[in-house]
Amino acid sequence: MKKYGKYILSASIAAALCAAGVNVVKSAETADPAAALNVISVDYDNLAVVLRGSDDTKYYISDGNQKKWEQITATTVNNTKLIDISWISNMRTYDLSIKGDVSAKPIKLKIPKCDTRFRVAYDANTGNITYSGLPVGYTGDVQWRVKGYTQWNTTTANPEDDKELIENLTYYLNTDNATTIYFRVAPEAGKSESDPGTRPGREVSIVLPKLAPMPAITVNADNTVTVPKQVKYKVVGSDTWSFANTADQNVSVNTLAPNAFITSGNPTPTDQIVEFRTDASSNVSQLSESAYIKVKAQRSAGAAVTVENISYSGTGTRTVKKGVKTSINTALKTAPATSSALTEPAPVTVLDTNYDTKQIRLQLNGNGMAFYSTDKTNWHFAGDKSDINDCVLMDIGWMNENQDYTLYFKGDSSMSESYYTTMTIPKKVLGVRAAFDRTSTGDAPKVTLTGTSASQLQWRKKDCYVWNTVSAGSAGEFISTTFEDMRTKGGRIIVRTAPTNGSGASNSGIRPSNEYSLVVPKRSAAPSVRINPVTMTVNTSAAMEYYDTVAKKWTDCTKSMSVWDFPAVNSTVKATVSMSGSDVSVEIRKKATSTNGYSKPTTLVFAGQRSAPSIGQLETNNVRYSSEIKTVGGVKNTYHTLRFKDASAENVYQYILISKSASINENRAAWITVNKPTTITLTGKKAVSGSKVYVRLKGATANAKKQTNAILPSVSNSFDIP
């Protein structure tokens, strides 16, 4: 117990010690009114404020007015505390106040609203991207991602300076679907209370039209290739394109691939691949997929030259996935003489499949290019040796995730079907549903997934793109303490089964399941409880429970509990005649039911009870007692007086005179209030020898406007009238 000395502190001083706000932890033993939390980061990618306090065990949040504080559960990560901010709307600036039970000085973070001025435009004819709405002189980053992907990529604020941007976006073009690309102004993490950083900007999108079908190229028997008008062609590896401007034209194979033929200036010919495509124009919303032919090196002067159509194999009507795609013919497709047959390189092989990046990694194995097909007839470019380490990264984001895909792979040098590599990309699991267990305890908030037997699950906050992987229990449930952090304000999460990445063609892994949006409900409102300093009770009910800090467990409340029914209050707050008690905070909440968990807690502050005011005949006593004998009207009487020299509106006394044979119940007694300096004369039949006078300092109810907690009446002092 804290000793304040022989004389009790005035009510005004005691109130000042408790003036941290109603229902807020402010322990006189531990709270430091000058200490504040340390902001490490405002993480807009994970939607959390990262804090480091000293000895704080509890955290509280409020708005800028700091009138109403809510206790919030903070997630512990690497000796730091994370406070969830996913509930703060990104369309308005919000003043967030945070403090701890020890670091009692509030910090205020001005969480900014997101930028909404940024715009992006795409010109399908030129392939150029332009930005507008950025602040003048903006030098920060812009981010982009493909629809269906959660990974943000960073580029500069001037797309013309990033030559790789269009190349990167082109990687995601396909002939099946238009491609939506999202852009935003990149976030900048906050570093301190004075530097809260910037939110990511509002996402804006552009649509890249799907690729037009590859052009219809006809290889003729006279060693020419009919190239339709506006179709460009070039040898792969060259930067120079040629095309027919106004009409179809027949171009000789010698012109298309001159280095495949033996000439005086080219005695050692090489295989050459010719690429054909149609540019975007006012009549074509997007450039076309490329078609390829391969002209194999002439073996000897005058010998027949083999022309292979890499983009098409088989006979009959040419179809691809969704109907007729092109009509490339191979009228000239002769095999080299048996005596000069060449051994084909090893086939393209599958290294792995990554469902996070939606890519298949292919090993070229000596081939210059890789192609894939879904029907072994129509072949589409997958990548070439310009990729990393003789490997090709092939995008599979265009695939319909609701169906299986059998894929075939070949290289430009491996044309025989016996050299094809086959694998199956499975469809995702559908029908996954999730439910939040509202009755979960705070230490183990639980989510259960149905419709799956996966052992690894993933979740992310709704507007956060970072997936968290967790292990599932036998019933498909998982636990995350982060959800308890979110239950102060409530929130929304996205859940799915985690993908299993494949290795090789025979093990293509498992796609992530459908994504399911789930509400993390905020806890019900904290009970409204208050201390009644007159009856010395708290308006609890049997539907509530309090945390017993002595037994360290939650204990059922009863209706209208006495303040002394709380063990910590009885042992610490309760004073003696000469020694004051210490402040104690008690958490009270509504108990969990069969349909919902326990409520948010109310932290009720019990200010240390004051010791008794001193009574005596000395001027130093709080209440001075005196008596004298007077004769009035011939009758001699003893007159008793009580002088309340320091009574005031802030330091209110109470007294009561009890007759000789009566007993007192202090909580129900009719105390007389003294709120100003005065002298009281005790007369009447009660003020006789053997009667008793009780004196105490009056209690006070909590005052939300003044941010004061309730004050219990002091211990009473008494004396017998002689």
**Per-residue pLDDT reduced to its tens digit, 310-325:** 888 765 433 333 322 3
Given a cut of 90, whether residue 644 has pLDDT beyond it is yes
- Interatomic CA distance for residues 694 and 690, integer angstroms: 13
Contacts of 645 (CB under 8 A, 6+ apart): 622, 624, 677
Q: Lowest-confidence range among 121-125, 435-439, 695-699?
A: 121-125
Residues in the chain: 722
Reference 272, options 294, 298, 305; nearest CA is: 294
User: 520, 545, 571: which is the final residue of a domain?
Assistant: 520
**Largest distance between two CA atoms of the chain:** 158
Is 632 in a helix, a strand, or coil? strand
Q: How far is CA 568 from CA 520, 557, 571, 573, in A?
A: 34, 14, 5, 7
**Per-residue confidence band for 282, with pLDDT thresholds at 50, 70 and 90:** low
Residues 397 and 472 reside in one and the same domain: no
> Do 28 and 15 belong to one domain?
no
Q: How far is CA 172 from the centre of its chain?
A: 28
pLDDT confidence of residue 448 = 95
Name the residue with tokens 């981010």.
Answer: 143
Does residue 420 lie within any of the structural domains? yes
CA 306/CA 333 separation, integer angstroms: 6
Structural domain span for residue 450: 433-520
The pTM for the full model equals 0.80
Greatest mean pLDDT among 121-130, 340-349, 587-596 lies in 587-596
Q: What is d(CA 371, CA 307) in angstroms, rounded to the nearest whole number?
A: 17
Q: What is the CATH number of the domain that holds 403?
A: 2.60.40
% of the chain surpassing 90 pLDDT: 60
Q: What is the pLDDT of residue 427?
A: 95
Q: Tell me how many domains the chain contains.
A: 6
Same domain, 666 and 570: yes
Specify whether 668 is located in the same domain as 607. yes
Mean pLDDT lowest among 103-112, 542-551, 667-676, 681-690 = 681-690
- 493 and 518 in contact (C-beta within 8 Å)? yes
What is the structure's pLDDT at 634? 76
623 neighbors 640 (Cβ within 8 angstroms): no
> Cα(632)–Cα(552) distance, rounded to whole angstroms?
65
The yes-or-no verdict on residue 329 having pLDDT over 70 is: no
Asked whether residue 484 is assigned to any structural domain, the reply reads yes
pLDDT for 115 beyond 60: yes
Q: What is the mean pLDDT of residues 205-213?
A: 92
Q: Are residues 567 and 706 in the same domain?
A: yes
Identify whether residues 706 and 721 lie together within a single domain.
yes
The 10s digit of each residue's pLDDT in 1-17 is 333 232 222 233 233 22
Strand-pair category, 635-644 with 491-497: unpaired
Structure tokens at 81: 């505390």
Q: Which of 314-318, 504-508, 548-552 has the lowest mean pLDDT?
A: 314-318
Rounded mean pLDDT, 649-663: 90
List Cα–Cα distances, 553 to 441, 586, 587, 647, in angstroms.
Answer: 13, 12, 11, 42
* pLDDT over 90 (residue 328): no
Residue 245's pLDDT is 64
- DSSP element (H, E) containing 13: helix 11-17
Count other C-beta atoms under 10 Å from residue 65's C-beta. 8
Mean pLDDT, rounded, for 241-262: 85
Which of the four pLDDT bands, split at 50, 70 and 90, describes residue 280?
confident
Q: Which of 206-220, 362-376, 425-439, 505-519 has the lowest mean pLDDT?
A: 206-220
Same domain, 246 and 333: yes
- For 566-582, the pLDDT digits (tens) are 999 999 999 999 999 99
Query: Alpha-carbon distance 262 to 299, whole Å?
Result: 8
Using a 10 angstrom Cβ sphere, with 0-12 exposed, 13-18 middle and 19 or more buried, the burial of residue 509 is middle
Per-residue pLDDT at 344:
61
CA torsion sign for 413, 417, 422, 424 is: positive
Residue 78 lies in a domain: yes
Residue 32, pLDDT above cutoff 70 = yes
d(CA 695, CA 674): 10
**Cα–Cα distance list, 279 to 228, 230, 288, 311 (Å):** 12, 7, 7, 18
SS3 of residue 353 by DSSP: strand
Q: Is residue 213 part of a domain?
A: no
Minimum mean pLDDT range among 10-19, 304-313, 510-519: 10-19
Check residue 76 and give its pLDDT. 87
28-32, 126-130, 470-474 — which one is most confidently predicted on average?
470-474
* pLDDT score at 580: 95
Q: How confident is the model at residue 221 (pLDDT cuts 50, 70, 90)?
A: confident
Indicate whether 467 and 566 sit together in one domain: no
Residues 48 and 126 in one domain: no
Band the pLDDT of 284: cuts 50, 70, 90.
Answer: low
- Mean pLDDT score, 299-305: 85
Q: What is the pLDDT of residue 141?
A: 92
Q: Which residue has the tokens 């980053």?
A: 141
My answer on whether 538 and 657 are in the same domain is yes
* Average pLDDT taken over every residue of the chain: 86
Check residue 244 and give its pLDDT. Answer: 64
Do 137 and 176 share a domain, yes or no? yes
Q: How far apart are the C-alpha atoms of 551 and 542, rounded to whole Å?
A: 19
Sheet containing strand 653-658, strands side by side:
672-674, 653-658, 692-697, 717-720
Average pLDDT rounded to a whole number, residues 276-300: 85
Ranges of beta strands (E only) in 118-252 are 119-123, 128-132, 142-146, 153-155, 179-185, 188-189, 197-198, 204-208, 218-219, 224-227, 231-235, 242-243, 249-252
Domain boundary among 271, 305, 340: 340
Asked if the structure places residue 15 within a domain, the reply is yes
CA distance 292 to 308: 9
- Residue 8 is predicted with a pLDDT of 28
CA distance readout (Å), 170 to 163, 288, 514, 691: 12, 11, 27, 100
Q: Give the H/E segment covering residue 164.
A: helix 163-170
Assess whether pLDDT exceeds 90 at residue 41: yes
* 60-73 residue pLDDT tens: 999 999 988 999 98
C-beta of residue 129 within 8 angstroms of C-beta of residue 380: no
Domain boundary among 340, 368, 398: 340
Assess if residue 545 is contained within a domain. Answer: yes
Q: Give the model's pLDDT for residue 61.
A: 95
Q: Please tell me whether residues 236 and 197 are part of one structural domain.
A: no
What is the mean pLDDT of the segment spanning 150-168? Answer: 84
